[in-house]
Copies of this chain bind each other. A is one copy, B any other.
Amino acid sequence: MNTHPAAAASTLAELGEFALIAAVAGVAPTAEQVLVGPGDDAAQIRTTTGSVLMSTDLLIEGRHFRRDWSSAADVGHKAAAANLADIAAMGGTATALTVGFAAPPDLDPGWAIEMSAGLAEEAALVGAAVVGGDVTAADQVMIAVALIGESLAAPVLRSGARAGDVVAAIGRIGWAAAGYHVLARGFRSPRVVVSAHRRPDPPYAAGPAAAAAGATAMVDVSDGLLADLGHVADASGVAIDVRAAAFEIAEPLQAVGAALGVDPLSFILTGGDDHTLVATFGPDAELPAGFTVIGQVADGSGVTIDGTTYEGETGHAHFR
């Protein structure tokens, strides 16, 4: 008999990803070496002499990438970037990755090798190395990356935002989503947005820089800006308001919006997979280079845009 409340849902689709993660994490016993447990971008684990950060991400063919849209090297870069950005979002730097690789037996080995090379190349951008892996047969290509890292300062959590803080972002937001929509319609341009979908370009060094500047909370934009700020608002017990005018809508996003008949602001507010960073800072903090203020933290709950609730989906939902 399973008496966990989540077991009342009859399928994973009905339960939803976040509820499942919470349920799965909820069964884990606490242990004294766990300084930061499940629910943030990465965990922090005490070691005999210090601590390490640890995180994992899965990429599944057909859901996170398509082999006809992205090269093997692109997929490797993206698999690494999604994980490296999680460590950056804690204010840390990744040092080592493991890769679990499952694929149909008829896959071209060159694809696996080029994917791995892309993954190792992206990891090398922050000095991290692939230290191990496992390979097995499966019906679908699946890449499971886990990694560890370290941070010089105390890790920046999702739960530290306080009323009065400013919200600041760095990096291109919405470009990967625009690229996704272009590819989904069968187009291959504008190239800059297609490239952003294929190979995210996370501002890795901005994570430790934000931590050093006293960031109170931080997250990487993986589910979508409003959804990820929602995680910060929930974890911190605050309200966040985003100013639409803070975003300069770059020409390629305008072009894609016009071509597809979509408000390009929706790419910025709801598109995931850019793996840029968004952080909150005290009102008197000096923002690190590259960060732009995009909103404000206040008492309350939830995320608004110019004071009103955003209409429509705010981010990816798996199992639906």
Contacts and interface: CB of A to CB of B under 8 A. Distances in A.
Nearest to A138: B60
A106 interface: yes
Contacts of A184: none
B137 A140 contact: no
Given A117-B27, A142-B142, A100 B133 contact: no
Interface string A125-163: 001111111111111101010101010000000000000
A116 interface: yes
Report how many copies the assembly holds. 2
Contacts of A114: 2
A134 to B, nearest CB: 5
A98 interface: yes
A42 interface: yes
Interface of A is mostly: mixed
A247 interface: no
Contacts of A116: 23-24, 27-28
Given A50-B48, A136-B17, A11 B108 contact: yes
A130 B12 contact: no
Closest 6 CB pairs of A and B: A146-B146, A144-B144, A43-B131, A13-B105, A31-B129, A28-B130
Given A25-B133, A48-B50, 10 more contacts: A7-B108, A11-B105, A21-B134, A28-B116, A45-B148, A47-B49, A56-B99, A58-B100, A105-B320, A138-B140
